[in-house]
Amino acid sequence: MTSWWIGGSPCSGKSTVAGLLAAARGATLYSCDDAFERHAAGPAFAKVAAMGVAARLAQPVEVQVADVLQLYRDEFPLILRDLAAVPGPVLAEGAALLPELLAAHKVPATHAVWIVPTEPFQRRYYARRPWARALLAATPDPDASFDRWMRRDAAFARLIATQARAAGYRVLTVDGTIPLR
């Protein structure tokens, strides 16, 4: 039985917050990111997996966001299957937890929250991540690729926030001004 859900945009602090809350509540933490490769299936995943990072980031932002949304829609039933097998209280977290999917699954507003970063916060923290720098180094123009990636994630964050609010869910915006502890 999944007790709590934390969705939102990448690089917003979901994993950090989820880890702290799961420990405080004695819940099992389920990370959608950890299961993503195992869940890799469907035409949306095949399309994205067949493209290199540079080609993927060269697509229009709207196409990139649509691809990500479809990936998460395809993955959601697999996430639910995983969660059904976990005993006790569970806190599930990940960008794959789209508000539209949880609303359709009848998750109460009191059990879910979405965390989205401001674009400046997201740019600042992504730029610090070694894996992100390594990924971008494989592109012909790392600075332009980084900019397209951040524009995609900012568009995703806006869409998620709009979707969550429309479904009556809470949205927290992270800008780095409030310390975690």
Q: Which of 73, 92, 77, 76 is nearest to 31 (CA)?
A: 92
Predicted local confidence at residue 147, as pLDDT: 95
pTM exceeds cut of 0.75 = yes
Element (H, E) at 116: strand 112-117
pLDDT digits (tens, 9 = 90+) for 166-180: 999 999 999 988 776
Instruction: Flag whether pLDDT at 28 surpasses 90.
Output: yes
Predicted local confidence at residue 134, as pLDDT: 92
Instruction: Flag whether pLDDT at 38 surpasses 90.
Output: no
Predicted local confidence at residue 79, as pLDDT: 95
Predicted local confidence at residue 80, as pLDDT: 95
Q: What letters, b where the CB count within 10 A reaches 16 and e where it falls short, cover 127-166?
A: eeeeebeebbeebeeeeebbebbbbbbbbbbebbbebbee
Give the alpha-carbon dihedral of 30, 31, 32, 37, to 10 degrees. -110
| Mean per-residue pLDDT, 137-158 | 94
The percent of residues in the chain predicted with pLDDT above 70, rounded, is: 98
Domains of the chain and CATH, by start: 2-174 (3.40.50.300)
Predicted local confidence at residue 116, as pLDDT: 96
Is the four-CA dihedral 108, 39, 48, 153 of positive or negative sign? positive
Predicted local confidence at residue 124, as pLDDT: 92
